[in-house]
Amino acid sequence: MASYTKYDPRLESLVMETRTLWDPSCGDLSEEDRKAVARAIHASPELASKIQYERSHTGFTREITVTVDDISRLYDQKTSH
């Protein structure tokens, strides 16, 4: 199966499932913080530095590996509005 490793707005309309992985650089985040960051990064997948789309039977699965830099970008985006 084909695999895509760069944010692609064209594929976003075909995403049917999401997965979140955690880079070791994120340290020990609480479960509550992980849930909040996962929701935020999947709401703005263009901010993710490690993203992968995998073909599934019904569309694509978006897998994001959250890094400390991603969390920083999310924070900057939130504070700039």
DSSP letter at 61 equals E
Cα four-point dihedral sign 41, 42, 47, 48: positive
- By residue count, the chain amounts to 81
How many domains does the structure of the chain reveal? 1
9-56 residue pLDDT tens: 999 999 999 999 999 999 999 999 999 999 999 999 999 999 999 999
Domain span at residue 26 reads 3-80
pTM for the model stands at: 0.90
d(CA 65, CA 46): 13
